[in-house]
Amino acid sequence: MTEPRALAGVRVLDFTWVRAGPWATRWLGAFGAEIIKIEWPQNLDILRGNRVTIPPGVEPGPNAPGQFADTNANKRGITLNIRTPRGLELVKRLVALSDIVIENFSSRVMQNWGLGYEVMRELRPDIIYVSMAGFGHTGRHHSYTTMGPSAQAISGMTFLSGLPGKPPAGWGWSYLDDTGGMFGAMCTLTALRHRNATGQGQHVDLSQMTAGITLTGPAFLDRTVNGRKARREGYPPGNRSVWPGAPLVNNYRGPSVAPHNAYRTRGGGYNDWCVIACFSDQEWRSLVELMGRPAWAVDTTFDSVLGRIEHQEELDEGIERWTQTLEKYALTQTCQAAGVRAMPVQSPEDRVEHDPQLRARGLYRELEHPVLGRRKVQGPPFKLSRSPAAIHRPAPLIGQHTREVLQELLDLSLEEIREGYADGTLWPPSMPVYPYLQEALQ
């Protein structure tokens, strides 16, 4: 790291696992904070067991899943059994040397380990403690546990996604793990900035499920202010802003307009789709011109937004007859050049290989990983002119930096570290010690 980093000199003790927490600390690392991920092989991070992202030809194991590698870039990793007195003592010494402690366990885990906020504050008076429990640390259901899909359901986010009269389509990925991670990073940065200004640390008690509700603001206010029932005809309206024939109410997708939908494109493949939205009569007229003024489209029925909304079935069928003649990127270019809002539906492969914008901006860059080789990683979506963010270090192999970190920060001798491996403090005696760890102990 030769360029200045925004969080240089900030140390984060990272107890997070699975997705939301590790996604948070990955970004703190991208800003240059020193992230020390604490793991224990007998209670393995679920992402280390993610078989779906192990590349063909790579031997399965905790260092093989690509999803773990991408999520945990920018960190060093140590193994340590916090349930032993010696392990707890070492962790406490690390807390005293850290600026931030962050975790996404259920609500009482840290406290039960003897590492509640009050204890940590004694070790380090200005410590920033960010907890990321599903329901938070207070409230009658604090002990409830969530994964992305359940948090999305409970927060109302699943309900507002799908076609009317069908089961909820929900979210095809753990949006609230990604976004829970964003909130975790935002809370940490906010508390850090507050500490810079005041010298005071604090406990930030984040609730993943609650954060989800704050992303449904207009729907929330429509209920509390207008008393509008959420369970109603024509809602949720799929990709449309209003379902034809249903009451003409706003469904929280921005202005109520038509066309506003997904359409098949040439090729007919699984992801050969585009979306088109016309936000004004002028945009609609431009689309009609692009389509070559077909007879159906110049009918006065479609001149006004009300007519287009009411006759959306016919409108969408007509548009799709045209979009099916064009390849999705060509269609995007044609529409955008004429001032018509259109975009391709992009698969992961599309984004990595075919999206000209992401390529030009360099979102995916290669990084060398000791087990997985040179692979593209997902980079930062912002360019800071003086202190750029970067994905600069591959994810740690399990226990890779135990010796390095404990020697560097706690001044442990190699002998003490070997003892820790033998007595179950730094590695479970019942498990084989990987060759890279044996090497580190020489």
Partner 1 sequence: MTSDPHAGASSLLPGPLAGLRVLELANEKGQYCGKLMGDLGADVIKIEPPGGERTRIVGPFLNDLPHPERSLSFWHYNTSKRGITLNLRSVEGPHLFQRLVATADILLESYSPGYLPSLGLGYEELSRLNTRLIMCSLTPFGQTGPWRDYQTSDLLHLAAGGQMGCCGYDPEDVPEAPPIAPGGGNAWHMGGHFAYMSILAALCYRDVAGEGQYIDASIHEACALTTESNVPIYVYTGQGVLRHTGRAASPEKTEPTQYPTQDGGWVNITRSGFNLTPARLRKLAEWMDSYGLAEDLLEEQYQSTAAIQANTGHIAEVLHKFFTHIPLEEAWHGGQQQGLPWGGVRSMDEIIDDLHLRDRRFFVEVEHPELGRRFIYPGAPAIYSGSPWRISRRAPLIGEHNQEILCGELGLHQQELALLAEAGVI
Tokens of 433: 């010690």
Taking the complex as a whole, how short is the minimal distance between the CB of residue 437 and partner 1, in angstroms?
Answer: 24
Question: Can you tell me which of 11, 113, 252, 324 binds partner 1, judged by CB under 8 A?
Answer: 252
CA distance linking residue 399 with residue 40, whole number of Å? 8
Judged by CB under 8 A, the chain residues 283 through 322 that form the site for partner 1 are none
330 makes contact with partner 1 (CB under 8 A): no
Closest to partner 1 by CB, 129 or 427: 129
Q: Name every residue whose Cβ is closer than 8 Å to that of residue 101 and which is 6 or more positions away in sequence.
A: 12, 13, 15, 95, 120, 127, 128, 129, 130
407 makes contact with partner 1 (CB under 8 A): no
146 makes contact with partner 1 (CB under 8 A): yes
Q: Which stretch binds partner 1 (CB under 8 A): 49-57, 79-87, 301-309, 414-422?
A: 49-57
Catalytic residue among 99, 177, 222, 316: 177
- If we measure between CA atoms, which residue out of 289, 290, 291, 288 comes closest to residue 302? 288
The conformational region for residue 47 under phi > 0 = left, psi -120 to 50 = alpha, else beta, is alpha
Tokens 């070492």, residue located: 90
Q: Is 177 one of the catalytic residues? A: yes
CA distance linking residue 204 with residue 132, whole number of Å? 9
Q: Which stretch binds partner 1 (CB under 8 A): 81-89, 248-256, 397-405, 430-438?
A: 248-256
For residues 396 and 32, the answer to whether their CB atoms sit within 8 Å is no
59 makes contact with partner 1 (CB under 8 A): no
Taking the complex as a whole, how short is the minimal distance between the CB of residue 412 and partner 1, in angstroms?
Answer: 30
Taking the complex as a whole, how short is the minimal distance between the CB of residue 167 and partner 1, in angstroms?
Answer: 6
Tokens 């107890």, residue located: 15
Judged by CB under 8 A, the chain residues 337 through 396 that form the site for partner 1 are 339-352, 355-358, 360-361, 363-364, 372, 375-378, 380-387, 389
Judged by CB under 8 A, the chain residues 215 through 244 that form the site for partner 1 are 215-226, 228-231, 238-239
CA distance linking residue 11 with residue 14, whole number of Å? 9
**What DSSP assignment string belongs to 327-357?**
-HHHHHHHHHHTT-EEEE---HHIIIII-HH
88 makes contact with partner 1 (CB under 8 A): no
Longest dimension (CA), the chain: 86
Binding mask 170-209 for partner 1 (x = CB under 8 A): xxxxxx-xxx--xx-xxx-xxxxxx-xxx-xxxxxxxx--
119 makes contact with partner 1 (CB under 8 A): no
| Count of residues touching partner 1 (by CB under 8 A) | 165
Report, as residue numbers or ranges, the catalytic residues. 177
